[in-house]
Amino acid sequence: MIWSVPKIWEGGDAWILGGGPSIIDQFNIPKEVSEKVLLKQLPLSAYSSYMKLIHDKHVIGINIAYLIGNWIDIVFFGDKNFYLTHKEGLFNFPGLKISCNPEVEKCFWIKYLAQDKAKHLGITTNPKMISWNKNSGAAAISLAVHTGVKRIFLLGFDMKLNDANKQHWHSEYKNPQEPLNLRKLPFQRHLTGFPSIYKDAKNLNVQIYNVNSDSAITQFPCINLKEALEL
């Protein structure tokens, strides 16, 4: 059944936690910790204590981010394979589970939002839908707007490899020993929706900040975590 997003965070902020490796730097996570997480010698929850500055914020975790800690309010995903792989973990996650993948429409414990086919790029204003924007992180911006927030902080929205050629702050989507296939990187596709998101956010009077000074997304003010927390 299609859900309609209530304005649970009206007038507030939302922090969307993506997959980019800049999160490691923003939260000053020690290299030895991040390397052990990447090698799967430590669970993703090893990052949680370093992220305590946002434990009291309204946080939407994209895909695997829900495993960092139960202080994350919402897990949002659009990928069918992610759902099938993490079905048990998602079921046990105490926060809201929300998806735009038709596979979950009849799943009673996941809130389903349809993809707005008439507005696949940007931010849809229909609270029963999201604009897909060709990736879950950008799609979650529609969700955040539906909750009534006036400011959105993007974490880990790098849309590029870091200096160490890392694509994510985790290795859950691939074997960490497997060579990186540069031809399969999704960044250009994922960047497609941000010009439309920028225009729609401006019209909706929603301010979006990119908490990463070295992101490939150029439409929003780029700030660091300290600056974001002081706004």
Phi, psi for 13 (deg, rounded to 5): -120, 155
The pLDDT assigned to 191 comes to 83
Per-position pLDDT tens, the chain of length 231: 799 999 999 999 999 999 888 999 999 999 999 999 988 899 999 999 999 999 999 999 999 999 999 999 999 999 998 999 999 999 999 999 999 999 999 999 999 999 999 999 999 999 999 999 999 999 999 999 999 999 999 999 987 655 555 555 455 555 555 555 545 656 667 688 999 999 999 999 999 999 997 888 899 999 999 999 999
CATH for 13-230, options being 3.30.1370, 1.25.40, 3.90.1480, 3.40.50:
3.90.1480
**What is the pLDDT at residue 185?**
55
Q: How far apart are CA 30 and CA 101, in angstroms?
A: 35
DSSP assignment string, the chain: -B-----TTTTSEEEEE-S-THHHHHTT--HHHHHHHHTTSS-GGGGGGGGGGGTTS-EEEEGGGGGS-TT--EEEE--HHHHHHSHHHHHH-SSEEEE--GGGTT-TTSEE-EE-GGG-SS----TTEE--TTSHHHHHHHHHHHTT-SEEEEES---S--TT---SSS-TTS-TTSPP-GGG--HHHHTTTHHHHHHHHHHTT-EEEES-TT-S--SS-B--HHHHHH-
> Tokens 């029963």 — which residue?
128
